Amino acid sequence: MSTETFEELAETFDFLDDWEDRYRHVIDMGKAMPPMEEALKVPATKVEGCASQVWIQPVIDGTGPQARFDFQGDSDAMIVRGLIAVLHALYAGRPVSEVATIDAQAQLARLGLDEHLSSQRSNGLRAMVGRIRAIATEAAA
């Protein structure tokens, strides 16, 4: 259960056999993301539990369980910006009621990220997923 964008990403990762190439691709995805406005980088959007500075600003289109989920995100670390872009591919455009049902760990494992991230980065990624789920769950209520 993943978006077309995430499926395309998984196919790209299958094509890139070398982890260094995958790492560079994640960083390039982060560089390609539109920058988040400085005014949105406030304590309310900051994700706790990340070694880097990370901000996630929800962008919900509509109301109730069928509202569409999206978000802006940013980080002071290029690889983390890339991980935010990966999460964007996984979650953006879904109904808020579906976001919490996605097995992010299993989906990200398809990319091999679980094997190649440091424990600090893995913890930060889990914190970002937790934040995204909390935002969507609140919006679905």
The length of the chain, given as a count of residues: 141
Q: Under 8 Å CB-to-CB from 98, ≥6 apart: which residues?
A: 1, 69
Quote the CA–CA distance of 118 and 130 in Å, as a whole number. Answer: 18
Return the structure tokens found at 64. 């109730």
Active-site entry in 50, 90, 104, 135: 50
Residue 50 known to be catalytic: yes
**Closest Cα partner for 27 from 85, 74, 72, 70?**
85
Catalytic residues: 50
